[in-house]
Structure 1
Amino acid sequence: MRCRLLLLALILVSSAFASEARATTADIRSITCGEYLAMPAAPSSKFSAWMTGWFAYESRRTFVDFDLHRTNVASVRGWCQSNPSASVMAGLEKSIGVTAVPNATLDFNKITCGTWLAYGPADQEFVRYFMSGYYNAAASNSLLDFDRLQRNSSAVVTYCKKNKSRTLPTAIQNRAT
């Protein structure tokens, strides 16, 4: 019975992250460690970036640190191994703490559209999900809406291609809904 429940949870979570083209949302607060650990690599990466942005806002950090992100993901995954029924949010709070101050140097308020467009696809995607998590935390919204994120991303890319010297937050504020 437990195996069936875990399989059902995996299917539900995987389908929530499987395709951004479908009308899909996921309440981030409800994702358990077991579900997170069972996610395929691509959805897990997106989820992790979104959560990193969420906690950056909660701790009033305005920077992007790719290395710190990887370290934190490893820490949370380790904590989740021992706590599969706990929420990932609880794991993040215990593993990294919302008040931790890392040695980051990339303030996202200073990332220009041109710089962001020059990032490789994986780094662009990380920043996209990070910023979504950040702004959703600012709105006290724990719902990750893939359709909305995709629409906003397309609008921001279009804006950035025409306004490369503008900052990414300016592009998001001018184009995201």
Structure 2
Amino acid sequence: MTMKTILLAGAAILAASAAGAATLDLRKVTCGDFAKSDSQSLTNVSLWLSGYYMGEDDDAVIDFDRVNKMGNALVQYCAANPKEPVSDAAEKLMGKAK
């Protein structure tokens, strides 16, 4: 099991337990719903996305300043584009940051 897999699994567990949900399909969540989420949910999803977009050759390090910056950028983008799926918004913002 790679470190990326471990980080993704851990972040997914945190997000699901914090939200009280068994699953969270980011393709079905709109930016509008995401932007209105509580701060813990925003943090959990941002952490998961950070791991998801981590390169295979990247060091297994969580840069909390970067996660916070990217999470804030995602919330701002989502507030301006409320009908867009969160998965599409994340790909635009975080996919380019690889």
Q: How would you bin the TM-score normalised by the shorter chain?
A: 0.5 to 0.7
SS at match of 1:148: helix
Given that 2:46 and 2:68 are in contact with CA atoms closer than 8 Å, whether structure 1 keeps it comes out as: no
Correspondence for 1:55 among 9, 16, 24 = 9
| Mapped pair 1:66 → 2:25 | no
TM-score (norm 2): 0.66
- Higher strand share goes to which structure? 1
Question: Are residues 151 and 65 of structure 1, via their aligned partners in 2, closer, same or farther at CA, if it must alter by over 3 Å?
Answer: closer
Aligned residues: 89
SS at match of 2:62: strand
| Mapped pair 1:162 → 2:76 | no
Structure number with higher relative contact order (C-alpha < 8 Å, ≥ 6 residues apart): 2
Correspondence for 1:104 among 22, 26, 30 = 22
TM-score (norm 1): 0.41
User: Gapped runs of 5+ residues in structure 1?
Assistant: 1-28, 30-50, 57-61, 71-102
Q: CA deviation at 1:113?
A: 0.9
Given that 2:8 and 2:52 are in contact with CA atoms closer than 8 Å, whether structure 1 keeps it comes out as: yes
Q: Which has the larger radius of gyration?
A: 1
Matched letter for residue 132 of structure 1: S
Given that 2:15 and 2:45 are in contact with CA atoms closer than 8 Å, whether structure 1 keeps it comes out as: no
Question: Are residues 158 and 52 of structure 1, via their aligned partners in 2, closer, same or farther at CA, if it must alter by over 3 Å?
Answer: farther
| Mapped pair 1:114 → 2:64 | no
Partner residue of 1:13? none
Question: Are residues 54 and 105 of structure 1, via their aligned partners in 2, closer, same or farther at CA, if it must alter by over 3 Å?
Answer: closer
Deviations 1:108-161 (A, max 9, x none): 22221111112111112111112212222xx22322122322221222122111
The runs of at least 4 consecutive aligned structure 1 residues that moved more than 6 Å come to none
Partner residue of 2:50? 132
Identity of aligned residues (%): 26
